[in-house]
Amino acid sequence: MKTLHLLSFCLLMVANETRKFEDCELFYKLRDLGLDGFRGIDVKQYVCMAGFPANYNTEYYETEEGVPHYGLFHLSGQEWCFNERRPSQNKCNISCDYLLDDDIADDVRCLKKVITEKGLEYWTHYQVNCSRGALSILHLSCSYFLEYQSWFKNLVLYGKKKEVHIHFN
């Protein structure tokens, strides 16, 4: 019986994994999820937003002035998701717990609703921390990251294809 409880606990832990992204990794993930250019906003702006205050961590949770905020995009549990502890408008029709796991597709769906309704002005942290200079640095670093990845991938592929023959006379 103890083994069954331990197995259940382990499965629960695996199902609720959280993740801390690197900035460029998140850049490409959000781009793949359709955020680049959504409502005229560049993907690097969304990445910068996820950096403050969540530091790219999917399990980020904070209470500000009695209002809980969840996940990468610091979404209000009073307005956007339901947390079972207080009344919520639950405009994204989602449990706040889903904003704390490693599957960010649902976070992005909710984020799109927030952007459509409120725009970037919803996030005071964005306004304070994401200047044009910060966004340029992020864009440049992720562009170089992509070039480095491509270069390394080609090097590995070249290394696998190349055969080396040594002849002794």
**pLDDT value of residue 19:** 86
Q: For residue 4, is it within any domain?
A: no
Q: CA 144, 129, 63: angle at the middle one, nearest 5?
A: 120
Q: Which of 50-59, 61-70, 121-130 has the lowest mean pLDDT?
A: 121-130
What's the residue count for the chain?
169
Give me Rg for the CA atoms of the chain: 21
**164: number of Cβ within 10 Å:** 5
pLDDT band at 136 (very low <50, low <70, confident <90, very high): confident
How many structural domains compose the chain? 1
pTM greater than the 0.95 cutoff = no
d(CA 27, CA 59): 18
Q: For residue 139, is it within any domain?
A: yes
Looking up residue 66, the CATH number of its domain turns out to be 1.10.530.10
Q: For residue 43, is it within any domain?
A: yes
Which residue is listed with tokens 């340029």? 136
Q: For residue 83, is it within any domain?
A: yes
Q: For residue 11, is it within any domain?
A: no
**120: number of Cβ within 10 Å:** 15
* pLDDT of 17 over the 80 cut: no
